[in-house]
Structure 1
Amino acid sequence: MRKIVAVKATIYKANLSLSDMDRNVFGDFNLTVALHPSETVERMMVRILAFCYRAAENLTFTKGLSSMEEPDLWLKHDNGTILEWIEVGQPAPDRLKKASGQAQAVKVFSYGRGMDVWWKTNSAAIRALPKVSVHHFAADELQALTALADKTMNLTVTITETIAYVSTATENVAISLREME
């Protein structure tokens, strides 16, 4: 008889020193990020980038891929109101519509293969949702960012004019955040 073993998430630690010049947000953040067994390192790094672009006191990672009822990150008011529902990837318009009903704003950080097809297929439905904004990252830039991934990361992130400059002790990477058109 074969024993089935559930694969557990891999835990990553990211110590961020963030300077977001665009929003005047500065701070040090110690993040614990669970890499879901079905998730790529690239997707995990995009979640960290999304955190950097939306950093705020009550911004937290959720169960993400482990729960269909939650986004990848959310910003909640102290009273429990969802201020921002943050998705990573290429979510379906129905999911974004549902999120719009629960949150004051919905932010999508898209990336990956098939992104052009996803946007062409879904842009009309997504644009009809006034609370939703969609941005994307270039694949080649994300490849360089993914190379920085380590179980324990010390990252300095400076955001200016929507470009994130991510540095470790030995590497520097620039990632552009572009609005979907």
Structure 2
Amino acid sequence: MALKATIYKADINIANMDDHIYADYQLTLALHPSETIERLMVRILAYARYADEGLEFTKDLFETDEPALWQKDLTGLLEKWIEVGCPSEDKVKKASARCKQVAIVTYGSQANDWWQKNTKIKTLSNVEVWQLTPETTEALEQLCERTMQLQLNIMDGEWTLLSDKGQVDIQWQKLQ
């Protein structure tokens, strides 16, 4: 008998004072049995970085041709393709050819090696790559609950995620 996904809900209020964007999002995420809490929280953070009403979580762990998040236009054409983790170079190249904007949010102990090995990604002009520090993702895990109320404040390039369980200063490094 296959294990079922666990459903998590996150209400996230974003106050981006740098770009004057203020919005609330109600997210429902399925945590696949093979997925970690760390990855779940990074998916939420990736959503927050590219937040838009049209942005959707996909079945990326079930469907290997899909990213963690995507956004389509009204005709169904892909506009944004957002990967979480260390995707293959081929997958990123295909996404780059299909979409206006491709983003990768990488994290974990393999991220530096992945970035050094995948040199062709650096030649793709519509791909941006962000890396989260291990301290950030470790702290993010501590905020996780089945039902989360999150507040993200962005000011002067500094990101702070708050919940009833505490706060995390998000440390991003832009690789590309």
Question: Does TM-score exceed 0.5, indicating one fold?
Answer: yes
Matching of residue 156 in structure 1 with residue 157 in structure 2? no
For these two proteins, the number of residue pairs brought into alignment is: 176
Query: How big is the shift at 1:101?
Result: 1.6
- Identical positions, percent: 40
Match of 1:176 among 153, 171, 174: 171
State the TM-score, normalized to the length of structure 2.
Answer: 0.95
Match of 1:29 among 25, 47, 55: 25
State the TM-score, normalized to the length of structure 1.
Answer: 0.92
**Residues 110-137 of structure 1 deviation map (CA, whole Å, 9 limit, x = unaligned):** 0001211111111x21111121111100
Which has the higher mean CA deviation after the structures are superposed, 17-26 or 49-58? Answer: 17-26
Matching of residue 80 in structure 1 with residue 76 in structure 2? yes
8 Å contact from structure 1 (residues 158, 165) kept in 2: yes
**Residues 145-181 of structure 1 deviation map (CA, whole Å, 9 limit, x = unaligned):** 1111000000111123443211112411111221116
Structure-2 separation of matches of 1:35 and 1:161: 33
Partner of 1:141: 136
Partner of 2:57: 61
Structure-2 separation of matches of 1:87 and 1:162: 22
Q: CA RMSD in A?
A: 1.3
Structure-2 separation of matches of 1:9 and 1:133: 30
Matching of residue 20 in structure 1 with residue 16 in structure 2? yes
Query: How big is the shift at 1:103?
Result: 0.9
Partner of 2:111: 115
Q: Specify the structure having the higher radius of gyration (Cα).
A: 1
Structure-1 separation of matches of 2:36 and 2:154: 24
| Unaligned runs of at least 5 residues, structure 1 | none
| Unaligned runs of at least 5 residues, structure 2 | none
